[in-house]
A and B are shown apart, each in its own frame.
Chain A
Amino acid sequence: MKLDAKIPDGPVAEKWDRHKFEMKLVNPANKRKYSVIVVGSGLAGGAAAATLGELGYRVTCLCFQDSPRRAHSIAAQGGINAAKNYQNDGDSIWRLFYDTVKGGDFRAREANVYRLAQVSVNIIDQCVAQGVPFAREYGGLLANRSFGGAQVSRTFYARGQTGQQLLLGCYQALERQVAAGTVTMRPRTEMLDLVLVDGVARGVVTRDLVTGKIESLAADAVLLATGGYGNVFYLSTNAKGSNVTATYRAYKRGAAFGNPCYTQIHPTCIPVSGDYQSKLTLMSESLRNDGRVWVPKTAGDRRAPHEIPEAERDYYLERKYPSYGNLCPRDIASRAAKEVCDEGRGVGPSGLGVYLDFADAIGRVGEQQVRERYGNLFEMYQRITDENPYRVPMRIFPAVHYTMGGLWVDYNLMSTIPGLHVLGEANFSDHGANRLGASALMQGLADGYFVIPATIGHYLASTPLPKVDTGHPAFRAAEAEVTATTRRLLSIGGRRTVDSFHRELGKLMWENCGMARDAAGLKGNLQRIPELRAEFWENVNVPGSDAELNQALEKAGRVADFLEFGELMCRDALEREESCGGHFRVEHQTEDGEARRDDERFCHVSAWEYQGPDRAPVLHREPLTFENVHLSTRSYK
């Protein structure tokens, strides 16, 4: 396998425009001759499916929810970045580019990031035109706020429901194409395998989640926009259905997996309350604009927050990072929270929490203002915890939130399998080792609305694509494999539930491949995970049949993949002997506990190639070069 990022020549600011000009086009009349499968209807997949439909391609779009509008993107709260500089506060495409490269701790490709910053401005225009009700000023113009890790106000938002509104805009565009007949939407359909014909991605095998029917779809290109794999940790802020299945099965068919160990742990989530906990709820990072994070100065101080006088509180982010304070990037804020909890200064029943206090903000701007800014988040908090955050400081703790890793793609978003393109959180690009707040929505929409519609045309126009249908033996074989796996899961009849395995895996991942990782823990996982996987295949209980709606079976398939994928993550984390962004190796830190990168040895993308079930995957490296933003140590002090 050879990794060729296909980065166009020329200065970084001109690459995309030049590339767009140099790429081949598909004649408008020919577009309808090409068919494209889009797996996923979140911001990335929905935007791609709608736009390709508008262009005239024949598109089939799949999602596992009952409606494309329910993709996990719907849950994003805080906002979306764009280098509009409407606030005249010194923002520019260059600055967004710079911030993203630096925020990603120099582990992303410059050319991709620059393009992302460039098209960010078009995204906002598109969304406004679709009727996305962004927050506005009294003059009628768009409002902005600053968001974790940025010193300019470039984040656009729709109350605390930005993802919902962007996704609805996208879904509406998608439904327009459904009505126009260019897009066939197949909800409650899960992709279970990728089909290659002569080494080229030509289709997928799916399961109809209502009838259980296993079926194939053939096309000229396949796009995966299936989101992130944070649920490998069982508890995360992701929706319950979020999974690694589509990308992992593509990996098993030959697509390289990029940087699987890069995970983002979000600093502001509601702490775990009990063993039955099924997911974690994010409290938008925007809260850090006004909330102050603190813990008691002394370990074991169990007094109620209002009984702890100012002098005995440690506003540790403000203390350690005076220039960014509570707004320092996520990885730094999360690790700092872990540190104070490890010191025994954590708050709440479990001791795994820190305060996020709005008393000062309420004193400064009044409760009404605070309610206007965060009302729905405060309500959500109260509903879950039964505590009133206007009176008592919120308790927060870090939780798995986003995965920067994903299938490796080149500049055209194509994986190492010709014809297989990967978009949104499912790919590895753009965010390096740490994603800045409000940049995932931007990336999903950039990929879907603006990048893939240009690059897919070039692929289709320049690749010979002999006619293939689902009668081809490759489809038959993949269907047979999928059916066999399904039957096998149903036939085990063991004594443990799928969830119990998932929880156990999650715990292993959280403890040894979470906020802080070390060689011993990772090696332990590399031994323990295969054992757990073996037990799963002997002792899991998946009731019901394969010819019906069977949610236990759906979960079992996803957990089976997580049980393999978790091992790949640990392997990647073990191999990367440096600390960068969200990947913190305990062995590699400075004296004051900050991450220590090793640019000599690790300034590259790690891309893993599958070698079969009983063989270790092979690591390939794509070197990263920084010509515009010079490699430097990230400092938010």
Chain B
Amino acid sequence: MKLTLFVWRQPSGASSGQLVRYEAPDVSPDMSFLEMLDVVNEGLVLRGEAPIAFDHDCREGICGSCGLMINGIAHGPMKGTATCQLHMRSFKDGDTIYVEPWRARAFPVVKDLVVDRSAFDRIMAAGGFVSVSTGSAPDGNAIPVPKPDADLAMDAAACIGCGACVAACPNASAMLFTSAKVGHLQLLPQGQPERHRRALGMEAQMEAEGFGGCTWHGECQEACPKGISIDWITRLHRDFIAATVTQREESAADAGF
């Protein structure tokens, strides 16, 4: 296949960027999207030009490193598929493809297609864990967990933290990510003691990072490569309300972390 690409090039976070046109003359339908970019990059290097920077690592759709806006769609046209798992057979000979980075205030561009998603780590640090130090755990079978709960928790825990939900959202909200991370732990008995602190802490951090609010567009769920449902957002709202009430009752003294 022969394709025309318009790729966002931006030398650094501080500089401005623009779309640059490249020809990809010899694309096999069995290539992954990133392999197609590899081939373009090989050509650029041989011509003495800077290759296109993009994040990637596992190339199996699990590490969450990759993530491109492809023709305006986060991770491209194939539903439930991360960029690295998208294959060129999803495109036709002669197509023009626009490739851009995630766009969100909380995800500043680092270079070309690479963005800074460290805000997600800080949301996690604000309560996305069970406070159990190594060595203090009871036997793994001491607390039975109903299979449906474990399965549902796993649905939420499947999030790869790629940020497509933010990129797809007109408000650049991180609600799907945050709700999935909160939801996974809230469903398990191990997550109960801290459930209120967790919901409050993570939601507060999400706001502090500059993500937008959720107004139920549902674009996040469409873009998610792991099929995470917006039902998790409803659950988070419920948790948040319950937590706010409890917090008021518990006195403000121990609300901080």
Contacts and interface: CB of A to CB of B under 8 A. Distances in A.
A309 interface: no
Q: Which of A133, A185, A241, A277 has the most CB of B within 10 A?
A: A133
A278 interface: yes
B190 A131 contact: yes
A282 B157 CA distance: 21
A552 B114 contact: no
B213 to A, nearest CB: 24
Nearest to B61: A380
B146 A140 contact: yes
A417 to B, nearest CB: 26
A141 interface: yes
Contact of A133 (B42, B44, B117, B188): B188
A129 interface: yes
Interface string A97-136: 0000000000000000000000000101111111101111
Contact of A552 (B51, B126, B185): B51
A633 interface: no
Interface in B43-87: 44-46, 48-51, 53, 55-65, 78, 81, 85, 87
A24 B109 CA distance: 49
Contacts of A50: 134
B132 A70 contact: no
Interface string A252-281: 000000000000000000000110111101
B168 to A, nearest CB: 19
Given A135-B150, A551-B51, A125 B139 contact: yes
Interface in A326-359: none
A176 B129 contact: yes
A128 B190 contact: yes
Given A51-B134, A131-B188, A173 B125 contact: no
Contacts of A142: 140-141
A129 B59 contact: no
A158 interface: yes
Interface stretch (A161-169, A191-199, A405-413, A420-428): A161-169
Contact of A75 (B32, B62, B188): B62
Contact of A276 (B28, B56, B141, B257): B28
A281 to B, nearest CB: 6
A140 B158 CA distance: 20
Given A51-B134, A549-B53, A239 B48 contact: no
B124 A453 contact: no
Contacts of B121: 67-69, 175, 178, 185, 187
Q: Which of A128, A140, A210, A273 has the most CB of B within 10 A?
A: A128
Nearest to B187: A133
Contacts of A125: 137-140
Contacts of B135: 122, 126, 450
Contacts of B134: 47, 50-51, 54, 126, 173, 449-450, 453
A589 interface: no
Interface string A131-149: 1011111111110000000
Contacts of B16: none
A86 interface: yes
A392 B249 CA distance: 61
A158 B110 contact: no
Interface string B105-141: 0000011001011101100111011111111111111
Interface stretch (A294-302, A516-524, A540-548): A540-548
- Interface of B, secondary structure class, is loop
Nearest to A500: B42
Nearest to A544: B50
Contacts of B176: none
Contacts of A185: 121
B140 A124 contact: yes
A215 interface: no
A548 to B, nearest CB: 6
Given A128-B140, A380-B85, A172 B129 contact: yes
B57 A276 contact: no
A171 interface: yes
A614 interface: no
B13 to A, nearest CB: 8
A62 B147 CA distance: 37
Given A175-B125, A175-B129, A541-B45, A276 B35 contact: yes
B153 interface: yes
Interface string A68-98: 1110101100000000101000000000000
A179 B125 contact: yes
A51 B137 CA distance: 13
Nearest to A183: B125
B31 A276 contact: yes
B212 interface: no
A449 B134 CA distance: 7
B101 interface: no
B219 to A, nearest CB: 22
Nearest to B12: A548
Q: Which of A158, A178, A179 has the most CB of B within 10 A?
A: A179
Contacts of A66: 55, 65, 116-118
A483 interface: no
B7 to A, nearest CB: 15
Contacts of B34: 278
Contacts of A551: 51, 53
Contacts of A172: 124, 128-130
Contacts of A277: 35
Contacts of A187: 118, 121
A69 B64 contact: yes
Contact of A72 (B58, B147, B184, B188): B58
Interface string B5-39: 00000011000000000000000101110111011
A241 B57 contact: yes
Nearest to B126: A179
A133 B184 contact: yes
B237 interface: no
The 3 nearest A-B residue pairs measured at CB: A140-B144, A129-B137, A172-B129
Given A67-B161, A548-B12, 5 more contacts: A66-B117, A67-B64, A173-B132, A276-B31, A549-B114
Interface of A: 47, 50-51, 54, 65-70, 72, 74-75, 84, 86, 122, 124-131, 133-142, 158-159, 161, 164-165, 168, 171-173, 175-176, 178-179, 185, 187, 210, 239-241, 273-274, 276-279, 281-282, 380, 383-384, 386, 449-450, 453, 495, 497, 499-500, 541, 543-544, 548-549, 551-552
